[in-house]
């Protein structure tokens, strides 16, 4: 998966290391110099900072001491608990952190290979749809010989400090990591998809069924290598990092390090006993200050659990920042979750796989409305549809669709300071089944994201079979920026951008003619259809025919009053040739014709709504068949009018 890894700043780790070894010199990174500019955005916030290599801090430095765990991380003098919490989540996932720390055995200090050390390390982060390889030297900021930022409990373990330095290099400086979003870091570590969960809005503290569903969802995510973080919301700046009487800290990111169903009781009795407790374990990035309620480290509740079960859960009685809670207490005390799914796209898997479609796009300004791509949100009715438009199909009867919009990171700039995130979001519309050109009038909206100045916007939606357009936008019009759009479906969705406004003129247009009229036919419903097969219903579907083109709806089971809600769009060379709408009944051997109607669909027809009786194929006035069909028809001589 790393064939497409891109070196940050064109720095090739292997070439730089060979050059250092050839010259017998330790690497000094020219792109992230060991000075105040790499520490602070504007003015120095600390004095007496000395940059030291691990060999100058301790006698026997290592990347890892006794493996990697959440206990290797302690937050330093940066307000980056969000980053440290994400690292704590990562630490428990061997397959995931190997992506962030590639070839870690080769990078490790080795007594038997002293010439291998060159003061250079590299780490990988997923940014804007690709993995970025970031090279750093190992000079770390210290005060009085102590690391001032992220550090391990073991004085000679440095993986967390070096990963933080590489991440700070991506951001522009260490101070740029002061205040951030755990969801962003989780995505950067995995290339996964982060979904926010509001425990307050969902009223999870009181709704038992919803609480159970959430626990099962989190358990499934965790068991499939997903990463989870949680926090307690603040309502003012004064509440940030306020410690509550429960021992929990507000406005502070915690890493979820385990989720279990715990057997209550001892010995064989516990094995056969059906009673289980839903439990969740978290870690405070500070490495101390824990929950002091039920199931805290030294609480009496642990007497209900057998010794073997406690050992399997890793229960310890020490203030190391890690603690267990019942899921009931968790939902009562915490307000927000971030769930990062590792999207499984492998065909060789026992778990659910997803089909991923991904594209990079941009909001760009242009004086020509047909070329402008920075129209702003739906509040700007005159320009909204000028934004980029992307089309996709839902091919199952109902499919769960995940949509993820991410904006490009704006790196710290010495002159301009820390870049501001754009306020953005997206809308999803259901359109004609055969649409292949940009949408020019607002159609049926089926979903909408929040609009917020976040790096990533996520939406999960159950959508019925059909064709859809997603329109990513900035909140205000005229704002330029780059974005990444990802869509996950159960089966391939034919995802693509719509760039043309109407059918283009070609060399064949002069000989064969060019469309002079565009017509949209919306078959809303039918009623009173003939009953079939001796039952009380039918299995109807509708076909819209215009010339050689046709649009067929999904089959509606066991009904004589189907809600079709299907649209077709047709670019017509002969406006006088009628459009035919046929209704059929699905059968195993041969489908049965139930009736049809024809319409001219002239732009001069000011009545958009029609309810017509079904007729036989002759279409004579005296051969009506059972049932009526409800239509909405719109036509325009302006091909970019619908």
For the annotated catalytic residues, the residue numbers are 81, 252, 284
Radius of gyration of the chain (CA): 30
Nearest alpha-carbon partner for 221 in 181, 258, 184: 258
Rounded-to-integer distance, Cα 502 and Cα 370, Å:
11
Task: Please say whether the beta carbons of 259 and 280 come within 8 A.
Answer: yes
Residue 495 neighbours by CB distance under 10 Å: 20
- Edge-first strand order for the sheet with 50-52 is 50-52, 140-143, 146-147
| Strand duo 496-498 + 276-283: pairing | unpaired
Rounded-to-integer distance, Cα 599 and Cα 627, Å:
17
Task: Please say whether the beta carbons of 416 and 435 come within 8 A.
Answer: no
**b/e per residue, 352-367, with b = 16+ CB within 10 A?**
eebebbeeebebeeee
Residue 548 neighbours by CB distance under 10 Å: 5
- Please name the residue ranges forming H helices in 76-145: 81-91, 94-100, 104-107
Rounded-to-integer distance, Cα 291 and Cα 325, Å:
8
Rounded-to-integer distance, Cα 300 and Cα 291, Å:
14
Q: What is the DSSP code (8-state) at residue 148?
A: S
């Amino acid at each position: 998966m790393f064939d497409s890894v891109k070196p940050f700043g064109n720095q090739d780790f292997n070439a730089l290391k060979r050059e250092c070894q050839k010259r017998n010199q330790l690497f000094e990174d020219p792109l992230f110099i060991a000075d105040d500019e790499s520490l602070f955005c504007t003015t120095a916030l600390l004095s007496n900072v000395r940059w030291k290599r691990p060999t100058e801090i301790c006698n026997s430095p290592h990347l890892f001491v006794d493996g990697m765990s959440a206990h290797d991380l302690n937050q330093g003098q940066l307000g980056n608990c969000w980053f440290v919490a994400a690292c704590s989540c990562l630490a428990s996932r061997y397959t995931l952190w190997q992506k962030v720390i590639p070839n870690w055995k080769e990078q490790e200090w080795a007594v038997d290979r002293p010439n291998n050390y060159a003061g250079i390390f590299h780490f990988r982060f997923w940014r804007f749809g690709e993995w970025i390889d970031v090279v750093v030297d190992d000079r770390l900021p210290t005060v009085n010989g102590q690391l001032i930022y992220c550090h391990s409990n073991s004085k000679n373990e440095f993986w967390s400090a070096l990963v933080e330095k590489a991440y700070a290099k991506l951001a522009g400086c260490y101070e740029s990591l002061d205040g951030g979003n755990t969801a962003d870091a989780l995505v950067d570590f995995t290339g996964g998809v982060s979904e926010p969960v509001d425990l307050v809005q969902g009223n999870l503290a009181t709704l038992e069924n919803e609480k159970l569903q959430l626990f099962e969802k989190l358990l499934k995510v965790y068991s499939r290598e997903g990463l989870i973080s949680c926090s307690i919301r603040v309502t003012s700046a004064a509440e940030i990092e306020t410690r509550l009487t429960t021992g929990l800290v507000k406005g502070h990111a915690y890493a979820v390090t385990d989720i279990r169903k715990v057997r209550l009781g001892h010995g064989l009795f516990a094995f056969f006993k059906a009673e289980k407790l839903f439990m969740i374990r978290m870690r405070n990035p500070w490495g101390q200050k824990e929950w002091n309620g039920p199931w805290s480290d030294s609480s009496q509740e642990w007497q209900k659990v057998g010794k073997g079960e406690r050992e399997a859960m890793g229960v310890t009685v020490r203030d190391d920042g890690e603690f267990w809670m019942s899921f009931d207490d968790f939902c009562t005390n915490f307000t927000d979750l971030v769930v990062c799914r590792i999207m499984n796209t492998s065909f060789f898997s026992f778990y659910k796989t997803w089909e991923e479609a991904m594209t990079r796009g941009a909001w760009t300004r242009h004086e020509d409305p047909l070329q402008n791509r920075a129209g702003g949100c739906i509040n700007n009715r005159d320009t909204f549809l000028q934004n980029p438009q992307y089309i996709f199909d839902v091919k199952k009867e109902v499919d769960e669709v995940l949509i993820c919009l991410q904006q490009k990171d704006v790196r710290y700039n010495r002159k301009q300071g820390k870049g501001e995130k754009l306020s953005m979001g997206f809308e999803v519309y259901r359109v004609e089944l055969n649409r292949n050109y940009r949408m020019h009038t607002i159609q049926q909206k089926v979903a909408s994201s929040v609009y917020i100045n976040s790096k990533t916007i996520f939406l999960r939606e159950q959508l019925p079979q059909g064709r859809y357009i997603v329109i990513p936008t900035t909140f205000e019009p005229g704002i330029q920026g780059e974005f990444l759009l990802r869509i996950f479906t159960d089966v391939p969705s034919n995802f693509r951008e719509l760039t043309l406004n109407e059918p283009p003129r070609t060399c064949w247009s002069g000989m064969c003619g060019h469309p002079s009229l565009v017509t949209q036919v919306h078959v809303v419903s039918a009623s009173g259809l003939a009953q079939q097969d001796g039952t009380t219903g039918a299995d109807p579907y509708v076909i819209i025919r215009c010339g050689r083109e046709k649009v067929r709806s999904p089959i509606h089971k066991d009904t004589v009053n189907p809600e079709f809600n299907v649209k077709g769009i047709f670019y017509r060379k002969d406006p006088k040739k009628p459009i035919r709408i046929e209704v059929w009944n699905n059968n195993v051997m041969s489908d049965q014709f139930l009736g049809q109607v024809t319409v001219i669909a002239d732009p001069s027809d000011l009545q958009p709504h029609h309810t017509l009786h079904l007729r036989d194929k002759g279409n004579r006035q005296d051969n009506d068949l059972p049932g009526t069909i409800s239509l909405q028809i719109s036509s325009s001589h302006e091909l970019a009018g619908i």
